[in-house]
Amino acid sequence: MKVDRNWAYVPTSALPDTRAFTELAELTVDGETFIVRKSEPDGAFHYDWISGPNDGYGFSTSGRSTPVSNEHHKAAIRDFLSAVDPATGYLS
């Protein structure tokens, strides 16, 4: 499966977010749990890392007009987790 890797990680706490979101799923990937939400106005996805060491931390990806599978979401989460510093729980 080819996964589109054109996303940027933006920590949840970095930007105020006033968009309306729809919760899509709760996914557990490599032992970590995330809530996946989609922004209604622009189609962006937000991933709340609810099992992570830092309250309110997660990441967002740019919007898409085509449907996104759970496998795509899991690949995005795995990519994010691979960039997290295990000592701090934040992106390195």
Pairing state between β 32-39 and 58-61: unpaired
Handedness of CA 46, 17, 39, 4 (dihedral sign): negative
Length of the chain in terms of residues written: 92
39-84: per-residue pLDDT in tens?
877 888 999 999 999 998 999 888 777 788 999 999 999 999 999 9
Global pTM value: 0.78
pLDDT of 6 reads 52
